Copies of this chain bind each other. A is one copy, B any other.
Amino acid sequence: MDSRNGLTIPDDQIQSFFDSAPPLKDRAEIRESLIRFIEFNSQSSGVRRVVCVTSGGTTVPLEQRCVRYIDNFSSGSRGAASTEYFVKAGYAVIFLYRRGSCQPYCRALPNDPLLECFEVTDESHIQVRESHSEVVKGAIRDHHAAVTGGHLLKLPFTTIFEYLQMLQMIAISMKRLGPHAMFYLAAAVSDFYVPWKSMAEHKIQSGSGPLDMRLMQVPKMISVLRKEWAPMAFCISFKLETDPKILVDKASMALKKYQVHAVVANELLTRKDEVIVVTSNGNISVRRDKSQASTDVENPLVELLVGRHSAYIKDSDT
């Protein structure tokens, strides 16, 4: 990439981001589990579709020995719910998630399930409280089935540096799947960061008035993903805004700028009830079916995107 026309990011910005990143721990183990997972799902009769779902917010350390960091709000429930529907639709899912964020099959559980759902009987056995029995049973059973069946690979991250290095590894290893690969980039990725080398080594000292900080923009890696890492993959990005007036415009701009196949536009306050899927063929409003208490907006959203992905694969084959 050498274009500087605004549609692509200069190579040097991306290079400098990765050069400045602290090296990923467990790189070899992650790569190996990825290769195994993709291998397994390519051997099944026909190629199984593989989707990488990213979920939760990334952090930006403000100090090398990190005490303070900037975080992006995201519970991860969008990614966790969507993962369940993708597995149901027959996809193998690589779930790249923020440590501690919402997990697939666990959305109906209370915050602290172990302490709230279980009790120790007089005979010193552990039993699940009657009131939580079905939810807990379902969560353990479905999660176990997805993981042991080879349909779900979970990879955790915390910082923006970990996230982007892992996304690069995943994308490069999914390249061979061609149009059968999909990216569903629901994670809330930091827009600004402090380059590792210009970061304070020690905790920033308080005590002398206000603190002024200068944060650099994180290069938007979606362009590189589209052009280099996995150019044939079906690619969905997300746009979150709090101001509904600018939401669809920003999503349409992202669609063109990053050349993705759809942008899911969501507003902070209404995102659990409605999203707008912005495509080059027009915008589709997707709503939760409010007549049924247990449904969520991710159900029709994933259904719509799976249909689009099918059409995309068909187009690519002809």
List the interface of chain A (C-beta within 8 A of B).
Answer: 59, 62-63, 65-73, 99-100, 103, 106, 109, 111-115, 117-120, 124, 126, 128, 133, 136-137, 139-141, 143-144, 188, 190-192, 201-204, 206-207, 209-217, 240-243, 268-269
Contact = CB atoms under 8 A, between A and B. Distances in A.
Given A68-B72, A268-B65, A143 B126 contact: no
Interface of chain A: mostly helix, strand, loop or mixed:
mixed
Given A119-B140, A211-B192, A203 B67 contact: no
A57 B259 CA distance: 39
B126 A136 contact: yes
Contacts of A192: 206, 210-211
B216 A213 contact: no
A73 B68 CA distance: 6
B188 A67 contact: yes
B120 A140 contact: yes
Contact of A242 (B202, B209, B241): B202
A128 B72 CA distance: 35
Given A70-B68, A115-B139, A211 B214 contact: yes
Given A67-B188, A68-B71, A242-B202, A140 B126 contact: yes
